[in-house]
Amino acid sequence: MDFNLTEEQRLVRDAARDFAAREIAPKAAEIDKSSRWPGEVIAKMAELGFLGMAIPQEYGGAGLDTLSYSLVMEEISAACASCGVIMSVNNSLFCDPIYKYGTPSQKKEFLVPAAQGKNLGCFGLTEPMSGSDAQTMATNAEKVSGGWVLNGAKNWITNGPHADFILVFAVTDRSGPKVRHTAFVVPKGTPGYTQASPDHKLGIHGAHSCTVFFENCKVPDSAILGKAGEGFKVAMATLDGGRIGIASQALGIARAAFDASVAYAKERKSFGVPIAQHQAIQFMLSDMAVELDAARLLTWRAATMKDSGTRHSMQSAEAKLFASETATRVAHKAIQIHGGYGYSQEFPVERNYRDARITEIYEGTSEIQRIVIAASLLK
């Protein structure tokens, strides 16, 4: 594996790093404290092509590779994890499946404006009583003349309160030993499609999520993404790519906490010397650095495999598992290094700690990642 980035990848990363430092980092604490949707940041990310990075230019995207997307996700998330996950959902969970499975008309109607950042997409799989266990999904779609009628609810839908389209999964056949799902693209404003108020969460306060309801929501046959009855395949393939985005988000959060810890350790003094000179602090920083590098390499491997068209379910799960748990461990050590100040909102590491925790849960919990990895190992 070539560990050197191409000139284009370096330029994209550096542009994202500069943008994040100038336009996002100064606002991150305020966005978190006020739980404000960062609309002006999203608009600027759209201008830079960050909302459809791996989508070909003919469909409104930037036409870059998955590794470039991972690099940018890390930079944006290091500045503000909320902005990072908003970007990740639109790229990985909406644009990517529409590009892979969409018809020409669906790409024109849904993909182009989403990749350009003129519209925003979201992904509706999780339900109040159904997460990783898709067989217990309650949302259903009944075939009627001229289309389908959806009934049910999806929760924890990131971007939900602001999205223009939702990619939603519903059961369309319960006759066999296993239920069969179908994916539908539903525009906001479709009668019967409503939303609850935004959720109140531990972290990523600027990335609003909500419960979405479907009550006798009728959509045409043309709303089906892929084929009827093959929605589970669409969902799983989408999540394989989405986990690269979340691994990259976790990397950004962890790197921000690590960088803050290194800087603080050089400045804070105890017993007459900077705490960076104490072996206990040095050991923590060393462990943080090693885990960060390992997580980044796992993530880059999954990204390059996706770019090459190689199956990467196990590698994406490994990257997501290790990077997310690394983010929590690194943020935990960052607070310890900062001491009492780490527990204060005056310093960013407490936000990093809260933001890191969700990366072990959404787009497949750590336990689900271990199941995916084990299934690949034991074939």
Instruction: Tell me whether strands 209-220 and 165-173 are parallel, antiparallel or unpaired.
Output: unpaired
DSSP class of residue 132?
Answer: S
Can you tell me whether residue 347 is helix, strand or coil?
A: coil
R_g of the chain, CA atoms, integer Å: 21
Instruction: Tell me whether strands 121-124 and 165-173 are parallel, antiparallel or unpaired.
Output: parallel
As beta bridge partners, residue 124 has 168
DSSP class of residue 183?
Answer: E
Q: Count Cβ atoms within 10 A of the Cβ of residue 264 and give its class: 0-12 exposed, 13-18 middle, 19 or more buried.
A: buried
Locus of tokens 């979340």: 246
Q: Distance from CA of residue 60 to its chain's centroid? A: 20
Locus of tokens 């759209």: 46
- The catalytic residue positions are 363
As beta bridge partners, residue 224 has 184
The answer to whether the CB of 163 falls within 8 A of the CB of 120 is yes
N- to C-terminal Cα separation, the chain: 25
Which tokens sit at 205?
A: 């306060």
Q: CA 201 to CA 209: how far, in whole Å?
A: 9
- Total count of residues recorded for the chain: 379
Q: CA 349 to CA 333: how far, in whole Å?
A: 10
As beta bridge partners, residue 269 has 274
* Contacts (Cβ under 8 Å, ≥6 apart) of 217: 149, 150, 151, 186, 190, 191, 192, 193
Which tokens sit at 275?
A: 């705490």
The answer to whether the CB of 32 falls within 8 A of the CB of 25 is no
Q: Distance from CA of residue 63 to its chain's centroid? A: 19
Q: Is the dihedral of CA 290, 66, 96, 19 positive or negative?
A: positive
